[in-house]
A = this chain, B = another copy of it.
Amino acid sequence: MIKLEKIKSTPIPTLKRLTRYLSVIHQLKESKTDYISSTEIANIMGLDPIQVRKDLEFTGISGFPRLGFKIDDLHFAIKEILNWNNTEDAFLVGAGSLGQAILGYDRFKSCGLKIIAGFDINPELIGKKISNIEIYHINKIPNLIKRLNVKIGIICVPASSAQDVVDLMVDNGILALWNFAPIHVNVPSDIIIENAQLSQSLGILTHKLAEKIKAY
């Protein structure tokens, strides 16, 4: 096991790039590559090598002269920063089409997230298992958050009920929310909220495409 130095607080843009490096490093690990340099990562991803080197300093591990970083070490260290070597239990609320896709999305397990229960108000869903995860009525949330000490809530309900569901989870002790509802929700300042930002990503794409088409 590698030894990690004391890690400085990692800026958000660095965290975002680290998740992207991780996907490249994961591919290299699968293809049995042993070492990679920050310059090689920069070339693969079309980024500035200085930027990549600075970002990788946050992992606290050092490369070997001429070889670069040991892939296994880098993989472990980035996952450590993201807290993906541990797994946190999560509740998902709203088991409609998007919620069901997330329940079935195996990959989150390698990203430190294990969804242990789903919640909905639709009687046709309650009591069923989706991707082997049981769906309960929303009114079970208060009791189960406390009993199972769950810290992460995933919000997949329609915009109109998102704030109510968020309030219910926060009131019962949830610490972090991942919001897929296409709406701004308010939370107390000590609660972590991340918006899944699908529409932000789409907005950048459609804006750039319009610019490109105008330029023709």
Contacts and interface: CB of A to CB of B under 8 A. Distances in A.
Interface stretch (A61-69, A108-116, A139-147): A108-116
Interface in A125-184: 151-152, 159, 175-176, 178, 182-184
Interface secondary structure of A, over-half rule: helix
Nearest to A179: B201
Contact of A184 (B23, B81, B111, B184): B23
B97 A104 contact: yes
Contact of A84 (B81, B183, B206): B206
Contact of A207 (B81, B102, B104, B209): B81
A82 interface: yes
A204 interface: yes
A42 interface: no
A208 interface: yes
Contacts of A201: 178, 194-197
B182 A205 contact: no
Nearest to A202: B111
A53 interface: no
A12 B205 CA distance: 10
A16 B100 contact: no
B207 A83 contact: yes
A175 B104 CA distance: 30
Nearest to A131: B97
A209 B152 contact: yes
Contact of A203 (B82, B159, B195, B200): B82
